[in-house]
């Protein structure tokens, strides 16, 4: 028995190590390249072994450090607020739909799912949000369009409730006289922590990575740019300056701009915060295990 266990554990650990390396190594490649001197990068391509250390790419990015910091600030704000609002709305929708006896449950589920299938496109959305709702150049433009609630997550949460929350608990609470809101927040929610934490992560990632809302709806109040928008624009600028279209007086600048290094550095700067924050968020996922075990 013991041997079996050991062998098994070695196997799965090996498998996971291989997978993890497969994920980590490309990132290290990125990282090393972002610290490599530009001409070496162009001549010899990317490599794991650093040749010609250079901070030029990062210097370029952080030369407008004020903007970057503000960008991070904006992104963190909309991620936290957006995720909280989104989870709240998702919970509110998932719970009723998980009650088998709710009349109209199927129609509403269909109504929600249908939004995943049909999309009117950018132009009508844009016309509505900026014309009728006038959210252009406001913080709402970063929070509301497209990201505030998503049918996918509602259905995931509903599915989780149906599978993992025993009806007897809900019934018991009802008999005890609790109203539905109380049931949702005192009974169901603590048991759904793993899924909530998971969805919070996914929704949070959605907000963090979003560059489209900023691109379409923020045109004059540049202090509202998220970090993704700022990084994107830096990339585009770098490309533009080295493309030869910028005219003769930018040619000198183009000579010194580490455009390939910048692409790498931008990718690193975009990812790093998440990799730092994510482990601490995992505590909640783990907490869920222990709570679930106790309740079970």
Partner 1 sequence: MKNVEKSKNPPKKMKFGKSVKRFWPFYVMLAPGIIYLIINNYIPMLGLVIAFKKIDYRLGILKSPWVGLSNFEYLFKTSDAWVITRNTIGYNLIFIALGTVVAITVAILLNEIKGIRNKETYQTLVLIPYLISTVVVSYLVYAFLSTDSGFINNSILANLGVDTISWYTEKKYWPVILVIVYLWKSFGYSSIIYYATVIGIDGSLYEAAVVDGANRWHKIKDIILPSLKGTIITLTLMSVGRIFYSDFGLFYQVPMNSGPLLDVTNTIDTYVYRGLLQLNDVGRASAAGFYQSMVGFIVVLAANLLVRKIDKENALF
Partner 2 sequence: MNRMKKFLSVLLVGALFSMALTGCSSGTSEQTTKDSGSAATQMDPDKTEQDGNDKGSGEIVTLKVAMVSTSDQSGADEVEAAANEILKEYGVAIDITFINFGSWQQQTNLLLTGGSDSVDVLPLLTTPLTTYVNNGQVLELNELLEQYGQDIKEQFTQEQLNGGKVAGKLYGITTSRDLAASYGIYMRKDILEETGIDPATISKVEDLEEVFVKVKELHPEMYGLFGSQTGSVEAWGWDRINDGNQLGVVMDSGQADEIVNLYEQPEYETFVRLMRDWHQKGYIMADALSNTETSENLMKSGKLFAAFNNLKPGFAEQQERATGYEIEVIEFIPAYATTQNIQGLTWGIAAASTHPEEAMILLNQMYSNPELSNILVNGIEGESYVYIDDTKELIDFPEGVDAANTPYTNLGWAWPNQFITPVWSPNPTDYWDTMREFNETATPSKALGFAPDTSTITNEVTACTNVVTKYNYALMTGSVDVDETLPKFQEELRNAGIDKIIEEKTSQYEQWKLEQ
Is residue 84 a contact partner of residue 78, using CB atoms and an 8 Å limit?
A: no
Is residue 147 a contact partner of residue 79, using CB atoms and an 8 Å limit?
A: no
User: Is position 43 an interface residue for partner 2 (rule: CB under 8 A)?
Assistant: yes
Least Cβ distance, residue 236 to partner 2 (angstroms): 3
Q: Could you give the string, one character per residue 258-277, with x where binding to partner 1 holds by CB under 8 A and - elsewhere? A: -----xx--x--xx--xx--
Please say which residue, 111 or 251, places its beta carbon nearer to partner 1.
111
Q: To 10 degrees, what angle do helices 2-34 and 259-295 make?
A: 150
Q: How many residues does the chain have?
A: 296
Least Cβ distance, residue 131 to partner 2 (angstroms): 4
User: With CB under 8 A, what is the number of residues at the site for partner 2?
Assistant: 55
Handedness of CA 236, 242, 245, 249 (dihedral sign): positive
Partner from partner 2, partner 1, none contacting 66, C-beta within 5 to 8 A by type: none
Least Cβ distance, residue 204 to partner 1 (angstroms): 12
Q: Could you give the string, one character per residue 12-31, with x where binding to partner 1 holds by CB under 8 A and - elsewhere? A: xx-xx--xx-xxx-xx-xx-
**Contact residue for partner 1 among 57, 74, 87, 93 (CB under 8 A):** 93
Q: How far apart are CA 77 and CA 82, in angstroms?
A: 8
3-state helix/strand/coil string of 267-280: HHHHHHHHHHHHHH
* Closest to 82 (Cα-Cα) out of 39, 139, 133: 139
Read off φ and ψ for residue 258, nearest 5 degrees: -80, 75
Is residue 25 a contact partner of residue 5, using CB atoms and an 8 Å limit?
A: no
Partner from partner 1, partner 2, none contacting 131, C-beta within 5 to 8 A by type: partner 2
Q: Could you give the string, one character per residue 55-74, with x where binding to partner 2 holds by CB under 8 A and - elsewhere? A: -----x--xx----------
Measured torsion, CA atoms of residues 80, 81, 85, 87, in degrees rounded to the nearest 10 = 0
**Contact residue for partner 1 among 115, 219, 236, 243 (CB under 8 A):** 115
User: Is position 232 an interface residue for partner 2 (rule: CB under 8 A)?
Assistant: yes
User: Is position 127 an interface residue for partner 2 (rule: CB under 8 A)?
Assistant: yes
Q: How far is CA 96 from CA 87, 92, 166, 186, in A?
A: 15, 7, 15, 15
Least Cβ distance, residue 239 to partner 1 (angstroms): 11
Q: Could you give the string, one character per residue 173-202, with x where binding to partner 1 holds by CB under 8 A and - elsewhere? A: ------xxx--x------xx-xx-xx--xx
**Contact residue for partner 2 among 32, 76, 139, 215 (CB under 8 A):** 215
Least Cβ distance, residue 114 to partner 2 (angstroms): 11
Q: How far apart are CA 48 and CA 39, in angstroms?
A: 16
End-to-end, the C-alpha distance of the chain in Å comes to: 27
Strand locations in the chain (E): none
Binding site for partner 2 (CB under 8 A): 38-43, 60, 63-64, 103-104, 106-108, 111, 122-123, 126-128, 130-132, 134, 136, 215-216, 219-220, 230, 232-237, 239-244, 246-255, 257, 259-260
């Amino acid at each position: 028995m013991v041997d079996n266990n050991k062998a098994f554990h070695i196997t799965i650990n090996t498998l996971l190590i291989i997978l993890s390396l497969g994920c980590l190594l490309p990132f290290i490649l990125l990282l090393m390249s972002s610290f490599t001197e530009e001409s070496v990068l162009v001549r010899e391509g990317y490599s794991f072994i650093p040749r010609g250390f250079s901070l030029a790419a990062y210097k370029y990015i952080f030369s407008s450090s004020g903007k970057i910091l503000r960008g991070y600030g904006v992104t963190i704000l909309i991620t936290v607020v957006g995720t909280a609002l989104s989870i709240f709305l998702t919970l509110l929708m998932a719970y009723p739909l998980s009650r088998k006896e709710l009349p109209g449950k199927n129609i509403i589920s269909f109504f929600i799912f249908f939004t995943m299938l049909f999309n009117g496109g950018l132009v009508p959305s844009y016309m509505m949000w900026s014309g009728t709702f006038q959210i252009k150049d406001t913080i709402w433009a970063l929070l509301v369009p497209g990201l505030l609630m998503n049918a996918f997550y509602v259905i995931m949460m509903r599915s989780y409730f149906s599978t993992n929350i025993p009806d007897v608990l809900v019934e018991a609470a009802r008999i005890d006289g609790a109203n539905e809101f109380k049931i949702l927040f005192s009974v169901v929610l603590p048991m759904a922590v793993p899924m909530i934490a998971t969805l919070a992560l996914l929704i949070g990632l959605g907000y963090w990575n979003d560059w489209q809302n900023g691109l379409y709806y923020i045109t004059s109040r540049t202090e509202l740019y998220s970090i993704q928008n700022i990084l994107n624009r830096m990339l585009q600028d770098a490309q533009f300056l080295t493309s030869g279209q910028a005219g003769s007086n930018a040619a000198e600048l183009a000579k010194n701009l580490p455009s390939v290094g910048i692409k790498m550095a931008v990718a690193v700067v975009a990812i790093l915060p998440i990799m730092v924050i994510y482990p601490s968020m995992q505590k909640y996922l783990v907490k869920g295990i222990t709570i679930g075990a106790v309740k079970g």
